[in-house]
Amino acid sequence: MLIELDEDVAIQHVTEHLTTSHSVTHTPDEIEAAVATARVSLETVPVRSYVPVLVERRARRILSERTG
């Protein structure tokens, strides 16, 4: 479905943005794992419009918790 493709593209952009902004403190694999964890936690959200924004926020939180 088109919405899923748009969401996938947006999540890819989130991953790229976080990789750029957190490259000093986290590996690309750690960032991808944080994004994946955040996305899974939002799997059942019926309205998908804000999922990429919410994924980015949750992934940032996960990464900051891992930093210490």
pLDDT tens, residue by residue, 25-49: 999 999 999 999 999 999 999 999 9
Q: Is the pLDDT of residue 2 over 90?
A: no
Helix axes 28-41, 2-21, angle to 10 degrees: 140
Q: Distance between alpha carbon 33 and the CA centroid of its chain, in Å?
A: 9
Give every CB contact of residue 13 below 8 A, 6+ residues apart in sequence: 52
pLDDT score recorded for residue 6: 92
Which has the closest alpha carbon to 18: 8, 27, 5? 27
CA atoms within 13 A on the CB side of 37: 13
pTM score of the predicted model = 0.90
pLDDT score recorded for residue 68: 65
